[in-house]
Amino acid sequence: MSKSLPIMFQGTHSDAGKSVIVTAFCRIFVQDGYKTAPFKSQNMALNSYITFDGKEIGRAQGVQAEAANIQATTNMNPILIKPNRLNESQIVVHGRPFKNMEAGAYRREFFDTGVKLIQNSLGVLKQSYDRIVIEGAGSPAEVNLNDRELVNMRVAKMANAPVVLIGDIEKGGVFASLVGTLQLLEKEDRDRVVGVIINKFRGDIRLLQSGLDWFENYTGKKVLGVIPYLPHLNIDAEDSVILNSYTAIADEEKEIDIAVIQYPKISNFTDVDPFTIEPDCHVRFITKPDQLKNPDIVILPGSKNTIEDLQFLRESGLAHKLLQLQKKGKTTFFGICGGYQMLGLQVFDPLAIESPHYSTEGLGFLPLHTTITQEKTTILSEGVLSYQQQSIPVKGYEIHMGKTKREDKNAPLIKLANSLDGCKTSDEKVIGTYFHGIFHNDTFREVLLNSIRKEKELAPISNRRSFNMIREEAYDRLADHVRNHVDVQYIETKMLEFQQNARTI
């Protein structure tokens, strides 16, 4: 009998809080002395995480591994689906691109392969960890998909894991969604659910108590906890739905206004997270020209489809507004990965890897030419960044399917051990790089923000807080919050019962 005890968290819908609660339990189990790993069999996300050996997994599993104080591996997310165009996605298997597939073809042709991948990864994790915290996706009650699903109850059976169902009360109708989900499950799957958690509660818990009592009497399932909404968590988000929480309106009380361009295929938008903890910065995501205004910094983040997102910029009128703003010379433009490619003169896709459009003009802010290639670069990188006459050591990671040529007369941004990265104008008002995580480097972020403050005749702010330290504190804060409002001991008891009963498929 394996020593490993699994637990699975599923939700009544996407964005119920599964990723965050799995993160919390990864830290809770570590605090309690157990070697713990996260697991998500199949993840659809455009926010990626690079493992120590240069492989690509969903960002949530990387963050969960950090919370568990371990290095992330591809066994924690063996299948990653990255949408790249209408009804088509890139399928990433154990951190490497497998092929592009349409949804129907993936469902028909990949299922058996997926089952084997999931079984193998679970087997590896069970041999190495005391606790496995498993995350589902969407809802287990998708009756039209359940015969070939690879991420909810089938995985719970493979892992012999009890299931905790999560409902988000903030969306409204939480009892209806919990009861409806349970009723749509097959009896065997319903029996696997050991209780529910109500997430993101705001208000007086006494007003909810009658509903909790009714739910337990009606369903026979225990309410394991009601978790109050926890603001300012500072832990990376994965789903793009979180972008709805960012305002597009500038906060005049903050001294530095940062506008992030939110195109349809935006990826790795967590690059901007460190600015959200700065006392003088307001970060806003914008989709329309009239939202742009006159920001101090414009960030063009990563994109899973550079050409089509460039077309979005033109068709929406944002490209014209960005050009007008750039000509004024007061705003600093920063492009990362796909955003870096957009800042150039031309983007070519001769093999139609990302788009049926073989080429398109860039914004023309930097003299660069990019060619989309079949080979995907996924690597952890480090080098020395040159900015404001300072040399600053930086670390980051690269995820891109393209090669960018920079004209020799333009200064590179980062010197690596054997190459150069990025490009910047002589006045350092337009900057581009392939380095994701560039703003997570505290020294560079401080120098950048203080250069903006100097232009605005504001006093510099020194000794800004380390973002990584704040995130580490956030893991403990989250774990304490969940532990205080969830019956962790009951969950542990059910994990042990399932192991002793050795329930299998």
Task: State the pLDDT confidence band at 365, using cuts at 50, 70 and 90.
Answer: very high
What does pLDDT average to over the chain?
93
- The residue whose two tokens read 């807080």 is 465
In the chain, the domains with their CATH numbers are 5-233+471-500 (3.40.50.300), 256-457 (3.40.50.880)
Contacts of 26 (CB under 8 A, 6+ apart): 36, 37, 38, 64, 65, 67, 68, 133
The pLDDT value given to residue 461: 96
Question: DSSP per residue over 438-481, as a string?
Answer: GGG-HHHHHHHHHHHHHHTT-----SPPPHHHHHHHHHHHHHHH
Digit-coded pLDDT (tens) for 324-357: 999 999 999 999 999 999 999 999 999 888 878 8
The rounded distance, in Å, linking the Cα atoms of 491 and 28 is: 12
SS3 398: strand
Confirm if 46 and 304 have CB atoms less than 8 A apart. Answer: yes
Backbone angles phi, psi at 120, to 5 degrees: -65, -45
Contacts of 441 (CB under 8 A, 6+ apart): 385, 392, 393, 394, 395, 396
Locate 91 and state its tokens: 């399928």
Cα distances (angstroms) measured from residue 446 to each of 45, 390, 441, 462, 464:
30, 12, 9, 7, 7
Task: State the pLDDT confidence band at 204, using cuts at 50, 70 and 90.
Answer: very high
Digit-coded pLDDT (tens) for 35-47: 999 999 999 988 8
The pLDDT value given to residue 237: 62
Question: Whose CA is closest to 110, among 9, 166, 41?
Answer: 41
Question: Whose CA is closest to 138, among 213, 221, 81?
Answer: 81
Question: DSSP per residue over 31-82, as a string?
Answer: HTT--EEEE-SEEE-S-EEE-TTS-EEEHHHHHHHHHTTS---GGGSSEEEE
Confirm if 377 and 343 have CB atoms less than 8 A apart. Answer: no
Averaged over 434-439, what is the pLDDT? 97
Residues known to be catalytic: 337, 436
Averaged over 401-414, what is the pLDDT? 86
* β partners of residue 347: 360, 370
Cα distances (angstroms) measured from residue 80 to each of 36, 43, 148, 434:
21, 5, 17, 21
Averaged over 352-381, what is the pLDDT? 91
Averaged over 200-228, what is the pLDDT? 96
> CA 113: distance to chain centroid?
25
The pLDDT value given to residue 1: 39
